[in-house]
Copies of this chain bind each other. A is one copy, B any other.
Amino acid sequence: MNIGDVARQSGLPAKTIRYYEDISLVKPKRETNGYRVFNDADVHKLTFLARARALGFTIEDCRTLLALYEDKSRASAEVKKVTGKHLNEIEAKIADLQAMHATLTRLSEECAGDQRPDCPILEELSGKDRRSNTHDAKQ
């Protein structure tokens, strides 16, 4: 199979597949004309990578997961550990985003959004002490 077919099958752009070869995630053979040839195992690996990336695993996590996948004597605990770490990071990100969301929603609701220049959003960003609420000990 050539790279275009693999791209269609795996859902990954050809460019990405070349990149994955660059960083040694896959090692397709070459035809005499220089074209990459992907066998079923390569395609399977790339599909695995596409799924893992879609679940937010980093490339390095993917490398680890792929190695575990190919190690038939792995302990599932290893896989679960990687997943657990990733889950924690996702949770942290969600929490960060939700905090931002809460603040921005509040400010946005307070902002008239009309032709007048007065704007609580800019006031907050500029550090203006709005509605005499003097304690702002956060981080």
Contact = CB atoms under 8 A, between A and B. Distances in A.
For this chain, the copies found in one complex come to 2
A103 interface: yes
A131 interface: no
Interface of A: 11, 44, 47-48, 51-52, 54-56, 65, 68-69, 71-77, 79-81, 83-84, 86-87, 90-91, 93-94, 96-98, 100-101, 103-105, 107-108, 111-119, 121-122, 124-127, 139
B122 A68 contact: yes
A22 to B, nearest CB: 22
B83 A107 contact: yes
Question: Main secondary structure on chain A at its contact with chain B?
Answer: helix
Contacts of A122: 65, 68-69, 76, 79
Chain B CB count within 10 A is highest, among A47, A79, A84, for: A79
B47 A80 contact: no
A100 B91 CA distance: 10
Chain B CB count within 10 A is highest, among A44, A93, A96, A113, for: A113
Contacts of A47: 126-127
Nearest to A89: B97
Contact of A114 (B11, B73, B76, B113): B76
